[in-house]
Amino acid sequence: MEFREELLRIIEKNSRIDTKELAVIMGVTEESVIEELKNLEEEGTICGYHTMINWDNLSTEKVTALIEVKVTPQRGQGFDNIAERIYKYPEVESVYLMAGTYDLMVILEGKTIREVSGFVAEKLSALDTVTATATHFILKKYKDHGTILAKKEEDSREIITP
């Protein structure tokens, strides 16, 4: 595997890994790891570093919605301008172009279902290029970005046989 790809695969799973540890794992110098990370950041391959939080473990109320959006693409610009208008809203977490019945997938978080539905009705559906939406609310996350969130609890009861 190429050096860059291996480096990216490792930090994708753990962005907090120390550069010294990365160098040992990859069998290179720490300086080469630091330089490559800097290059990847400058060229826009590494776009940011994120912490994954299981909000279900806290008392903070959050609602996550997946919204499929059908749009009329603009001549000469396709879906890019529409996607940009949507992703500029602060409540929008992600926007993806997709193939199938709908054109875009919008993922957003809000405090309540009412807040999310208000966004869809007042902001998203109000865009002149949006022709249809389908909103799906996330009830429980089991795995997110490769990380298992819903760990099975071990049965700690003692087995008694007659």
The model's pLDDT over 35-67, given as tens digits with 9 standing for 90+, comes to 999 999 999 999 888 777 777 778 788 899 999
**What confidence score (pLDDT) does residue 113 get?**
93
**What confidence score (pLDDT) does residue 133 get?**
97
Q: What is the largest CA-CA distance in the chain?
A: 77
Question: Residues 132-143: what's their mean pLDDT?
Answer: 92
Tokens 């630091």, residue? 34
- Mean residue pLDDT across the chain: 89
Quick check: 151 pLDDT over 80? Answer: no
More confident: 56 or 19: 19
Quick check: 31 pLDDT over 80? Answer: yes
Question: Residues 16-22: what's their mean pLDDT?
Answer: 92
Give which of 108, 59, 66 is closest to 88, Cα–Cα: 108
Question: Residues 98-106: what's their mean pLDDT?
Answer: 97
Question: Residues 152-158: what's their mean pLDDT?
Answer: 70
Quick check: 1 pLDDT over 60? Answer: no
Total-model pTM: 0.76
Quick check: 33 pLDDT over 80? Answer: yes
**What confidence score (pLDDT) does residue 88 get?**
96
Quick check: 120 pLDDT over 60? Answer: yes
